Amino acid sequence: MFKNKSASRAARLTAIAVSVAALGAGVPAVASATPVTVIPGLPPVEVPELPKVPNLPTPPSPETKQKPKPKPSPKSTTPDKPAVPAMPNVKSETGYVALASDRTHQVYWWKDGKFIKQMPTSMGTNDHPTANGVYHTKEKYRDMYMDSSTYGVPVDSPEGYRTYVEYATRMSWDGIFIHAAPWSVAQQGVSNASHGCLNVSTENGKWVFDNVGRGTPIVVQGTVGGKYTGD
């Protein structure tokens, strides 16, 4: 009977050892040495080295979606508009003040100290420059003939002329006017093409004729001409 109990106990221990070995087959190895299982009453049982689990591929990290870079704004090809210059410090009986700048080929207008209007102009060429200085508006002509003989140049000479003009406002007694000159619109705001007058478009010539009273100062600056001293 004792023998049967011993045999039965040995069988159970052997079954336990086999179960432990079977269980270890599914667990990754944690040491390089061969593990040994000791069961009381039985000789040590070597558990065979378990195969290493191959390295599993690392799952790719989710790609971070980058926001599209904003497209650079196209550079403007439109030239910057020159800033309005300061109003000339001159006395005005009408509230209007004008500045004719040869640098920009523009006439700037102020009324009671407030800038109100800008118009392209074409002044006297280098051969017939408009003198720099302070002019004052005088008489007006709805239309008239401009004649070079009035300042000593015969009409039939190479430099002579007799031209019909509209909306002419006199600036000086020696023949300088601001007047409509539709024939020089392409030069107005760009270059000088007159015999000394301030050429402007028909629309702008009419505006001066209709709005600007006698005695309004018109300051001419930046030409190659001399100094205007008359009035």
Residues catalogued as catalytic:
179, 197
Enclosing H/E stretch for 68: none
Asked if 22 contacts 37 with a C-beta cutoff of 8 angstroms, the reply is no
Asked if 202 contacts 166 with a C-beta cutoff of 8 angstroms, the reply is yes
For 8, the 3-state DSSP assignment is helix
Asked if 175 contacts 199 with a C-beta cutoff of 8 angstroms, the reply is no
Asked if 187 contacts 207 with a C-beta cutoff of 8 angstroms, the reply is no
How far is it, in rounded angstroms, from Cα 68 to Cα 59? 26
